[in-house]
Structures are given as structure tokens and as C-alpha cells.
Amino acid sequence: MTETIKNILDRNSCRGFSDVPLTDEQVKALVEAALAAPSGRNTQPWHLTVVTYKSLIDEMDKECIELIKADENQEYYNMIMQRGGKVLYNAPCCMVISVNDSTWAQIDSGIMCQNIAIAAQSMGLGSCIIGMLKGALVGPKSAELKKRLQFPEGYEFAIAVIVGNVVKDKPPHELDFNKVSYVS
């Protein structure tokens, strides 16, 4: 088995990070992996915002929790609270991908996101792909947050990846081969 496939199979969604910040070299490697992602016709419809400013990460987390709490789905809110009341799990780095409105932008951002997650795994870091951040970026503080995250004009939130040193680990999910069909 190649090291790349091993990293893919070993990766899990980390929900517990240490307070240790990433090094500049780690951040640079993650950014390079992100920017190496392929995109349809090489349009690169994304913008990557790397947030290591802990108070901004905490502010986005709090905004997400408040919006989840205000939602009708209290079961979901309770699940989040049982996990420690965080959606960004105290990660020291949040990589936010915003995109323009081109046809394949959402798919291309997913590819970029996966590059970040696999690169983090290969570096011995944990990661978690976060869609919930969208709540904070469409809620009452969205204009302010988009400005602080330096979204280009006309770009909207696509997905985020939080990255850091693992404190709480879990095994990767089991592979479900019932989700596969073979056509020969």
C-alpha cells in the first residue's frame, strides 16, 4: 500500500485539538497542497483564507453555536453541546474556502478541501472538514465576517477545514462496501 493511500484510509474527523499553533512551515505546506488542487478547465474559482488568529476562530465558533441554538432542531444543538459546545473544536487553524458562482466551483472547492485534509494527515496533523461555518457566514454577522476573512467581491462560503495537533483521536469510519456497484 502506498503512503498516500494509507493516509487516506487512516484519516478521520478530529474533534479535539491542542493549543499548539501550527508552524509557518506547516501552514505553507497546507496552502501549497490546497493550491495544487485541480479545477475544471483550471479556472481555480476559489479563494483560500487561512485563519490562525484564535480570537476570530473563537468568534466564528460562537456565532455558529448561537445560530444552531436559535434553530428549531434542539437535538442537533444538544449533540453539539455533548461534544464540548464547539463546532471548530479549538483548532488553531481554520482554512476557509470561498468561491465565485461558476458552474463547478462547489466541486472544485471540495477537491481543494480534500487536498488540505490529506496533506494534514500526511504531516501528522488532525483535520475536520466543516460545513457548519456557513451558518456564521449567512447569519446576521455575515457581512462583517466576510470582510474580515477577506472574501473577494462576489465570493461566498464553500467549505472550511480546521487543522491542528490532535488531542482527542478516534478511528476512521468503517468502509461500507454496500455503497459500491461494479459494472463490467
Give the DSSP letter string of 66-93. Answer: HHHHHSS-HHHHHHHHHTTS-SSTT-SE
The three-point CA angle 147-118-168 to 5° equals 85
Q: Kindly indicate the confidence band of residue 72, based on its pLDDT and cuts at 50, 70 and 90.
A: confident
Q: Kindly indicate the confidence band of residue 165, based on its pLDDT and cuts at 50, 70 and 90.
A: very high
| Domains of the chain from N-terminus onward | 3-168 (3.40.109.10)
pLDDT of residue 152: 97
Average pLDDT of 13-41?
97
Average pLDDT of 30-46?
97
157: which DSSP letter? E
Q: What is the pLDDT of residues 109-146, one digit of tens each?
A: 999 999 999 999 999 999 999 999 998 998 889 999 99
Q: What are phi and psi of 93, to 5 degrees?
A: -145, 130
